[in-house]
Structure 1
């Protein structure tokens, strides 16, 4: 995913070795029977992870304590920055390891804050990235929380053509080779979406110790077979995972992607770990999983895939705990059974709709209901990602609300949000075609 990572960049800027070159290495990927095994201090280690955006550095210690209590043992970041040391310290205090991201710039506009970089021609820029990346490795390599290095994220997916992909993969090999000279104690991986990086890594980046693969939804069951068909012999991590993403989701009658409901999101995480990946871990192919995403952001991606929304826990929070520890919620989570939008009317300069929301907790107690919207047809990336609260007043029945809708041109995604007394936030979405202003 791209959206939550944009915010993390400002905060948080495995050589297939058999055996690893230095006996003093804290982390190693070693050949075991017909597969591979990740080891920390000589002991088998399976990454039960989440990607980490966090909220603010002052809360990192609390974040790490909460995640450890869920059964999480590893965090993944996308880049390093001024907050990285704070995160590593907090992670180590609570027994967590970190797959430390080393950011490399994207190859086309439209990804990661519309940044773009030319790996065919910008030799000065590549030298700068090379130097800065190695500096970060030198700075953090001796920290006890470092598990491995993750260099680049979905750059091949976001490269404009084959020539650019080859240029980037060759540059990546230079970076990986040098990182491994500087730090013999931690494996090096690179990350891309689905199988897009595999053929380029196989041909041009042979020094990688393992592959990092981002996959969402039912693809988690298909990916191992695709890797086998492609003849991949290196081990791999699933470096991002969650429910079906917007890019794969079918669209409704208004052209808005249909978001999976909260139960489907929960089940995807538990099923993905237990049924799709557990056999691959046992066979020595998969080294671990990172569920996307631990972040407090209230935005389009946060609501679709996140574990938190502000201080409230989303169903993915509880799904991560069940996947990694086997512990189900103490009481069933609240749910929104249905959201129905009535006639949309314009009154003077405002637009309203009566919306019925059937939302209760396990005991039948009504929940604290609110509304918000997202406009995917907005002009800027910031606006397309933004989720904006809506004013609503109680309607004629307990489950009806009069919602004041925004004045935008085009269909909107409408969120019905409901929170229980324990701080669990559930969501249901639909779309609304707004009337054209006279």
Structure 2
């Protein structure tokens, strides 16, 4: 529980909202576990706060997602996070099989989707539905914590949502005294944090979604007066709302190499460097999804190949690199220009793209190219988006990282994607936006 000392000390915080919602649910036929419930709690010591699981200190090394759990465990993780209870029994069983705990999400309605927290009947029905889920899964040995809602504060106006969250937290505390309870916010300013701390006293710690800005989070929280425990429940590449944009106002995505570096620096600054306060984290996203682009947030391609970020997470969790690593991108240009140069071409113009790589082992690399129109199906908060259809028939010549192609004939914004796949099945990815001006 966030105690009174923490309430007084902790009226503060900073954050930049994240995006959520995982890739498709993996099915599992794993048999039910035979072990009994494993108790988790939050302890305060002279060195700060720590999670105790089965009586032992437990630092969360996790990722958000529900697929490829064997690889997650082999990479050094000990936990995963979900956003809802869809297929929860299979996920919990599979996690337990691989020695992973689960922060199980309890989906709540969002104001931006039409849920009205002023509707007492709707709020009561939601609480009753959550109660059924808690009773169903509370004794599973893989369960670590309950996550009540995810970013219910994103674009909200009705602050009564926090009373609803507290009502559920108090209920869970009574139904299940063996597991931790938290709620996840989409960016916390001082007003919002005060609301959470005062209106939701039955959560055990803060859960924070943050992308760019994670490195300075521990000091920023201290500067604002909060020295209590927290878990970073989403973090990863620089968000599409935080990056530089082209002169036609589309965001410029980091390469997988740049993302991999940011996963290391952000983990070190925002999580590892705050012992006794940071209880661990869940990296985003252990899976694949379309959000702005098909490659922005997932650590796997649509074909299931792990990118460089998986290697960085391995490094974060183990303190050393995996034996086999993904290729790295040294440079990617169109007509000799970088993405930040706001590249314009004429319809039907001949273009030359060059991709320069660093290979970490001699296993051969194959490059696949794709041109997609700029996505127009942009949502908020990780809501599902449609993937643009590729433009076919543009490639003229492909030779060892140099591609000759013809610009599309329809004016507008596009992206050229490059996927560099090693012989060992790991990938580097990059894309460059370009704009076809027309003849």
TM-score higher than 0.5: yes
> CA 1:379–1:94 in 2, change beyond 3 Å: closer, same or farther?
closer
* Aligned twin of 2:83: 78
CA distance in 1, matches of 2:388, 2:309: 19
* Aligned twin of 1:49: 62
* Aligned twin of 2:7: none
Q: Kindly state the Cα deviation for residue 405 of structure 1 after the two structures are TM-superposed.
A: 5.8
Indicate if the aligned counterparts of 1:209 and 1:234 stay in contact, CA closer than 8 A: no
> CA 1:329–1:253 in 2, change beyond 3 Å: closer, same or farther?
farther
Q: CA RMSD in A?
A: 2.9
CA distance in 1, matches of 2:431, 2:304: 21
Indicate if the aligned counterparts of 1:91 and 1:97 stay in contact, CA closer than 8 A: yes
Indicate if the aligned counterparts of 1:307 and 1:316 stay in contact, CA closer than 8 A: yes
Which is further off, 363-372 or 189-198? 363-372
Indicate if the aligned counterparts of 2:51 and 2:57 stay in contact, CA closer than 8 A: yes
Which is further off, 391-400 or 228-237? 391-400
Q: How does 1:324-339 map to 2 (within 5 A)?
A: 324-330=317-323, 333-339=326-332
Q: Kindly state the Cα deviation for residue 251 of structure 1 after the two structures are TM-superposed.
A: 0.8
CA distance in 1, matches of 2:432, 2:124: 47
Deviations 1:8-67 (A, max 9, x none): 58999xxxxxxxxxxx9710001111511100010000000000142xxxxxxxx22211
1:5 to 15, 21, 25: 21
Q: Kindly state the Cα deviation for residue 338 of structure 1 after the two structures are TM-superposed.
A: 3.3
Secondary structure in structure 2 of the residue aligned to 1:37: strand
Q: Kindly state the Cα deviation for residue 183 of structure 1 after the two structures are TM-superposed.
A: 0.4
* Aligned twin of 2:334: 341
Secondary structure in structure 1 of the residue aligned to 2:222: helix
Q: Kindly state the Cα deviation for residue 419 of structure 1 after the two structures are TM-superposed.
A: 1.6
* Aligned twin of 1:118: 116
* Aligned twin of 1:188: 181
* Aligned twin of 1:16: none
* Aligned twin of 2:144: 147
* Aligned twin of 1:69: 74
Secondary structure in structure 2 of the residue aligned to 1:80: coil
Q: Kindly state the Cα deviation for residue 393 of structure 1 after the two structures are TM-superposed.
A: 3.0
Between the two proteins, the alignment pairs up a number of residues equal to 399
Deviations 1:308-359 (A, max 9, x none): 112211111111111101231435532333333347454xxxx565232224
Which is further off, 254-263 or 44-53? 254-263
* Aligned twin of 1:17: none
Q: Kindly state the Cα deviation for residue 94 of structure 1 after the two structures are TM-superposed.
A: 1.1
Matched, 1:315 2:284: no
* Aligned twin of 2:286: 294
* Aligned twin of 2:209: 214
CA distance in 1, matches of 2:410, 2:26: 31
Matched, 1:104 2:108: yes
Deviations 1:267-310 (A, max 9, x none): 111222234322312xx111111110111446646511221112
Indicate if the aligned counterparts of 2:291 and 2:297 stay in contact, CA closer than 8 A: no
Q: Kindly state the Cα deviation for residue 398 of structure 1 after the two structures are TM-superposed.
A: 4.7
* Aligned twin of 1:15: none
Indicate if the aligned counterparts of 2:334 and 2:352 stay in contact, CA closer than 8 A: yes
> CA 1:387–1:330 in 2, change beyond 3 Å: closer, same or farther?
farther
* Aligned twin of 1:249: 243
Matched, 1:203 2:198: yes
Which is further off, 85-94 or 427-436? 427-436
> CA 1:354–1:149 in 2, change beyond 3 Å: closer, same or farther?
same
Q: Kindly state the Cα deviation for residue 402 of structure 1 after the two structures are TM-superposed.
A: 4.3
Matched, 1:386 2:387: yes
Q: Kindly state the Cα deviation for residue 260 of structure 1 after the two structures are TM-superposed.
A: 1.8
Indicate if the aligned counterparts of 2:365 and 2:423 stay in contact, CA closer than 8 A: no
Secondary structure in structure 2 of the residue aligned to 1:294: coil
CA distance in 1, matches of 2:26, 2:274: 35
Q: Kindly state the Cα deviation for residue 425 of structure 1 after the two structures are TM-superposed.
A: 1.8
Which is further off, 376-385 or 182-191? 376-385
Identify unmatched segments of 5+ residues in structure 2: 1-16, 29-36, 336-343
CA distance in 1, matches of 2:363, 2:98: 38
> CA 1:407–1:297 in 2, change beyond 3 Å: closer, same or farther?
farther
* Aligned twin of 1:267: 261
> CA 1:3–1:200 in 2, change beyond 3 Å: closer, same or farther?
closer
> CA 1:68–1:173 in 2, change beyond 3 Å: closer, same or farther?
same
Q: Kindly state the Cα deviation for residue 127 of structure 1 after the two structures are TM-superposed.
A: 1.4
TM-score normalised by L of structure 1 = 0.82
* Aligned twin of 2:32: none
TM-score normalised by L of structure 2 = 0.82
Indicate if the aligned counterparts of 2:62 and 2:281 stay in contact, CA closer than 8 A: yes
CA distance in 2, matches of 1:9, 1:195: 29
Deviations 1:350-372 (A, max 9, x none): x5652322244525955322214
1:171 to 164, 174, 178: 164
> CA 1:431–1:124 in 2, change beyond 3 Å: closer, same or farther?
same
